[in-house]
Amino acid sequence: MQADTETQKHISYDDFKDQVISDYKIAVTSRECSLLGRREVLTGKAKFGIFGDGKEVPQLAMARAFKNGDFRSGYYRDQTFMMAIGELKIAHFFAGLYAHTDIVAEPMSAGRQMGGHFLTKSINEDGSWVNLTQQKNSSADISPTAGQMPRLLGLAQASKIYRNVEGIDTTNFSNNGNEVAWGTIGNASTSEGLFFETFNAAGVLQVPMVISVWDDAYGISVPAKHQTTKESISEILKGFQRDDEHNGYEIFVVKGWDYPALVDTFEKAGKIAREQHIPVLIHVIELTQPQGHSTSGSHERYKSKERLEWEKAYDCNVKMREWMISNGIATEEELSTIEKDIKKQVRDGKKAAWSAFLSPIKKDKKEIVAILEQLAQQSANKNFIAKLKNDLIAVDEPVKRDVISTARKALRYVVHETSDAKDKLILWIENYYQKTQPEYSSHLYSENEDKATLIPSVAPQYNDEDEEVDGRIVLRNNFDKLFENYKEALIFGEDSGNIGDVNQGLEGLQKKYGEFRIADTGIREATIIGQGIGMAMRGLRPIAEIQYLDYLMYALQTMSDDLVTLLYRSAGKQKAPLIVRTRGHRLEGIWHAGSQMGGLIHLLRGMYILVPRNMTKAAGFYNTLMESDEPALVIESLNGYRLKEKLPNNLGDFKTPIGKIEVVKEGNDITLVSYGSTLRIVEKVATELLEVDINAEVIDAQTLLPFDIHHETVKSVEKTNRLLVIDEDVPGGCSAYLMQEIVEKQGAYKFLDSAPQTLASQEHRPAYASDGDYFSKPNAEDIFEKVYGIMHEAYPAKYPKLR
């Protein structure tokens, strides 16, 4: 039997045999890595393992259909695929298990993610793009089940944008939108909402996307009957099948051990998606999991004897081997020789990876042992230091923690002593941290010269006769200028297109720039963010609009686990400069006036969080961000769209600086720090405080991540000696974060004459009643009385108690 595929019709039989044998070698290599990888975990060299055994053959077929320029958005069992496209070597696989922090030795994440998480390089060290069209691409994996799905949608949509929008420079990014985004997911994970949301959105958008579901009938120990209605994801998704009257999916079902059928199916799926821009589902059934879910347990505990016997018989590698022999592609002896040689290659690769991991640590160990030997000879605590040294010597296979922990403990024994050895030890520790800490902490944000915090401020310019307009007009006209200047810019969200967003900040722009660039979406926040991530990873400059701040909660997992970690978890090899636009604060009701800022600033480390007090400031932030290449969240003031602002005459050019505060009113009695809509109330109260002889200095934080990178707030506190932070988050939320930044990080405690305080909202969400805002969030009287109370405590005679 011969596989009747598009590729094989154009090659000789001998070439076909060579391809099949080459595929089998990759399958065997991957399986041997899985088997030996498990043993490495059980011996303690690796901490945890989750492998792709049992999924080898369908991944070979997927790799056959995968072309240069295509993108993978997969999950942690795709090692065979990565080997098949030439991006994962044996040594790389084991370096991932050992969490080697050398990006050359472990090019998937430099030890920042556990093994099984894969990527390819998209950007150079300076942040410039590599040519994505000349390589096979893999977006950086994440562990959360189905978390790869939203991003997949955007990777596919980018091809549609590149095919349909004129004027974009596609160099490095696309060949007429011919690229396919390939997604992989385990069958149990299709139970997640992110899978269904993505699946529906792709059907609506009609993007070139192929989703492969690896179905081994279990989700860890839980069988399919507890996972999926009818125990079949393809069965329940039949309603998505396209027909003559409706767009939809092409759906294939294929057995995971049938090599020729798999090759044929994946070739057909790729061709349909690539040429017709149609999403495709491939349900790969009857797969196995020879070693169980992971190294944390054994599948013998939950699988029946019959199931285990079936898995041995229908192991995809076993079945491929049988097919090759029965069709004369290779003999038993030839395959046995191949398998023996590969076993040795894998063992040798494992040994090389372990040696590469251990050698630099042993070198550091040798250095510190010599220093400790010298230190002991010069110290009155010789015996204690010698014990530390000998304990370290006894560790045959140390990790970095063993080395640096020993060095730091030794300092305790010489704290009251002076010696050359002590100076050498201190210098060694400092140098070690300078060298080693970045291996674990670098690339949370951009480290390049065009990072957003380095872009200087450009003030808005006005003519004397410039009119005052609604704030939304400033935003709209500025967006107009951005879309004119940046052909790769696009914006999308609920009601963003036809009506120009719910607050008219995009009024008329869809008609001017078209439905691909100014687009409406369904009500599906997670995949709105996913669209943005994927398109940003392919060189576009998307702005994803989430209608209200409260709705961001639907998308928070995707932002927190995928977007903000991308640069970090790829150790600087991938980026997604997505701008997320939303609005919130100071409205009415539990679901439209919440303030999740405390949660956001902690869950979204890795992107900027910007809180402009008016629309001119917001427009300036968008201008700054478009000049850089980093992700950011911009929260516009929901009650500011109809407030009057002067219309700048340098639209698109003025820039609000990121990481810089603004002193909006000078004073010398107390420093008041706030942001967003609340700041307008603070400004009003500051005027009222002058009537009782309190001259407050008012500071607009402007950006929360990062906050005040130039440490200008402490200069205000040094002048006023008092500090109050006001916001509408819950107690202990963002105001507490700002307090820590000012008092602890900036050292403002040294200048305080009164206890620093915060004023936040009530612990509950704001009530909907007309005066719910007044009794739920800090109002003008609350702020006035809080400030007055601080001054009363300091000067009771001058400021008698109010009540």
Q: What is the pLDDT of residues 230-281, one digit of tens each?
A: 999 999 999 999 999 999 999 999 999 999 999 999 999 999 999 999 999 9
pLDDT value for 672: 98
Residue 3 has pLDDT above 50, yes or no: no
pLDDT confidence band for 9 (50 / 70 / 90)? low
Q: Residue 28 corresponds to which tokens in the numbers above?
A: 């065997």
Question: Is the confidence at residue 8, as pLDDT, over 60?
Answer: no
Q: What is the pLDDT of residue 1?
A: 30
Question: To the nearest whole percent, how much of the chain has pLDDT over 70?
Answer: 99
More confident residue, 623 or 8: 623
Q: What mean pLDDT do residues 39-59 have?
A: 92
Scanning 12-170, the segments in alpha helix (DSSP H) are 13-42, 56-65, 79-84, 90-98, 148-164
Quickly state the pLDDT bin for 581 (edges 50, 70, 90). Answer: very high
Give 113-143 pLDDT, tens digit per residue: 999 999 999 999 999 999 999 999 999 999 9
Distance CA 607, CA 445 (A): 7
Can you tell me the distance from the alpha carbon of 65 to that of 266, in angstroms, rounded to the nearest whole number? 6
pLDDT, residue 587, reads 65
Residues 593 and 771: their CA atoms lie apart, in Å, by 13
Residue 503 has a pLDDT of: 93
Q: Which residues contact 356 (CB under 8 A, 6 or more apart)?
A: 91, 95, 100, 102, 105
Q: What is the mean pLDDT of the chain?
A: 95
CA dihedral 646, 649, 650, 652 (to 10 degrees): 70
pLDDT the model gives residue 504:
94
pLDDT at residue 6, as a whole number:
42
Band of residue 67 on the pLDDT scale cut at 50, 70, 90: very high
pLDDT in the model for residue 594: 77
- Min mean pLDDT across 240-254, 439-453, 493-507, 768-782 is at 768-782
Q: Who has greater pLDDT, 414 or 766?
A: 414
Residue 497 has pLDDT above 80, yes or no: yes
pLDDT band at 171 (very low <50, low <70, confident <90, very high): very high
The residues, ordered by sequence, that sit 6+ positions from 231 with a Cβ below 8 Å of its Cβ are 217, 224, 225
Average confidence (pLDDT) over 452-480: 94
Indicate whether 591 pLDDT > 90: no
Rounded to an integer, what distance in angstroms lies between the CA atom of residue 230 and that of residue 354?
A: 46
Q: What percent of the chain has pLDDT over 90?
A: 91
pLDDT over 80 (residue 487): yes
Q: For residues 663 and 640, is the Cβ–Cβ distance under 8 A?
A: no
* pLDDT tens by residue, 620-630: 999 999 999 99
**527-555 mean pLDDT:** 97
